[in-house]
Amino acid sequence: MELLFIALGGAVLGIAARYALPGRMTHGAVLVPAIGTAVASTVWVALTWLGLPWNEGWIWWVTLGVTALASVAADLALVRTRTAGDERMLHTLLRDGHPTGA
């Protein structure tokens, strides 16, 4: 049951990162929340395997903190990568008139 709550927390943090950071029009609406959900679930399971009890605060703070950082980093990386790719495509189209460059 706790994994469900932590997955929901990861999705909420992913949604917050998507709408708080600029450039959200460069990637899909579900991508960053999905990354947040996956990171939160993975970190939670890893920490429980390492022996942290689920009913103490540390596992929650660490999991949600790592998830927030990962969601922000993923969003910023996606925006930067997509913007650079769009710029390259624009220059190719302006130079050659078609995207293949041939």
d(CA 39, CA 70): 7
71 CB-near residues (< 8 Å, 6+ apart)? 10, 13, 14, 16, 17, 18, 32, 35, 36, 39
Average pLDDT over residues 3-20: 96
- Assign 97 a pLDDT band (cuts: 50, 70, 90): confident
Encode pLDDT of 39-95 as tens digits: 999 999 999 999 999 899 999 999 999 999 999 999 999 999 999 998 998 888 888
